[in-house]
Amino acid sequence: MLKKSSLVLWGVVLFVAWNALLLFFLWTRAPAFSDDHSHLTEEVIRLAQDAEVELERQKDLLRQIHHYSALWSKKKAVDNAGRLLPHATSVRPSTAAPPPHRPRASPDAVLPVLVIACDRSTVRRCLDKLLHYRPSQERFPIIVSQDCGHEETARVITSYGDAVMHIKQPDLSDIPVPSDHRKFQGYYKIARHYHWALSQVFRTFQYQAAIVVEDDLEVAPDFFEYFQAIFPLLLTDPTLWCISAWNDNGKEQMVDASHPELLYRTDFFPGLGWLLLSDLWDELEPKWPRAFWDDWMRHPEQRRGRSCIRPEVSRTMTFGRKGVSHGQFFDQYLKFIKLNDRFVPFTKMDLSYLKKEEYERSFLDRVYGAPELRVEELQGNQRRELGTVRVQYTTRDSFKAFAKALGVMDDLKSGVPRAGYRGIVSFLFRGRRVFLAPPSDWTGYDSSWS
């Protein structure tokens, strides 16, 4: 801090000295024109105009000095969970090893939002909503990490000035891939970018946690409230490894939009707006995959029996049809996701029910206490008087058949259904709560079901 204080002092000294020299220059120039009053008048006016422009530049410099001085002062008051850094256009890749005794994040830690960007100039839509709903720049600094070198997108990001930090992934080269993976080059570049960007956040900037979004996501009004409220739970519950803003079965007709406060545990890694701790990055970074990072996250070796928190109604939605998947998944499913439009004061709520033991006790009682109904009866809108019901599956094929019949996503990753917890998927079907569930003596996921 002593060096930074000296820098501020020298900035002020230079500002004063420059303007003293400028006045001296004006005084010494005037006599040279004393024989020609008209030329003297013109020259004085011109010099005055030049001096005014230069003074404005110097005042701007002084404002910047004060601005960064304020940031450095704030940094002392911020806990060790993060750093408040000025706007930057590039950051040198970090090769430093993780700190040997990294301090544990505190519940009020700084939670930067890492925006993964490439060549979508529509990143403006993402950033506008983030900035509009952000309650605090100090608590939620926004870092936009750009790959691809797309100039138009870079101009859009830069136009936000100090409201966001703009960093650029330096390696834009093609990645050698197996011949049968040439069409997947984009997935390799995405994995490389994620590795670099997360390393900047946790290694270079030394944040203790981060919220990750992509440049084609729009956030809900309570996006920041949601993460801020659940973050302390992530710190204290070792059976959790992420918080996600996304419900994979979040189509409008499949969620209870009248109860946007509903939250669940899920064994499926949802992504699409998620929070992780630096401790998790310490674990994942050394083995980060070359491609398909999100599916890799869903392998048992990475998940290690841990769960994420996810909402009933998504706090993000995607507007990016263009992408490496060429829009197929977007057209079939993603564009129908319901984005929450009501602010829920999560920070004022007791969320302890999401802790593993308490959650399983209440959730499993509700699931297996619900009457069982056959898919055909459900489709026929029969037995409405039963209210919440359960549809039971016993095999991979029966799960996929029932899921498809009821409009639930039927793909499995390492045997885990999307949005599932202990094999149970919760959703609405024709206005009634349905649990698509395995038998009550379920013993674990079968990876061969993928």
The residues that are catalytic are 294
- Count of CA atoms in the C-beta half-sphere (13 A) of 375: 15
DSSP β-bridge partners for residue 209: 277
Residues 165 and 142: beta-carbon distance below 8 Å: yes
Look at the alpha carbons of 87, 93, 99, 105 in this order and tell me if their dihedral is positive or negative.
positive
**Residues with Cβ < 8 Å from 408, sequence gap 6 or more?**
249, 254, 402, 417, 418, 425, 427, 436
DSSP β-bridge partners for residue 141: none
Q: Is 318 exposed, middle or buried (0-12, 13-18, 19+ CB in 10 A)?
A: buried
CA distance 131 to 303: 32
SS3 of residue 120 by DSSP: coil
The CA–CA distances, whole Å, from 357 to 71, 305, 342 equal: 43, 14, 30
The CA–CA distances, whole Å, from 26 to 37, 41, 46, 58, 60 equal: 16, 13, 11, 17, 22
CA distance 214 to 319: 11
In three-state form (DSSP H/G/I as H, E/B as E, the rest C), the secondary structure along 16-36 is HHHHHHHHHHHHHHHHHHCCC
Distance linking the first and last C-alpha atoms of the chain: 55
Q: Is 163 exposed, middle or buried (0-12, 13-18, 19+ CB in 10 A)?
A: middle
Structure tokens at 445: 């996921």
Residues 444 and 435: beta-carbon distance below 8 Å: no
Residues 382 and 432: beta-carbon distance below 8 Å: no
CA distance 205 to 82: 7
- Report the length, in residues, of the chain: 450
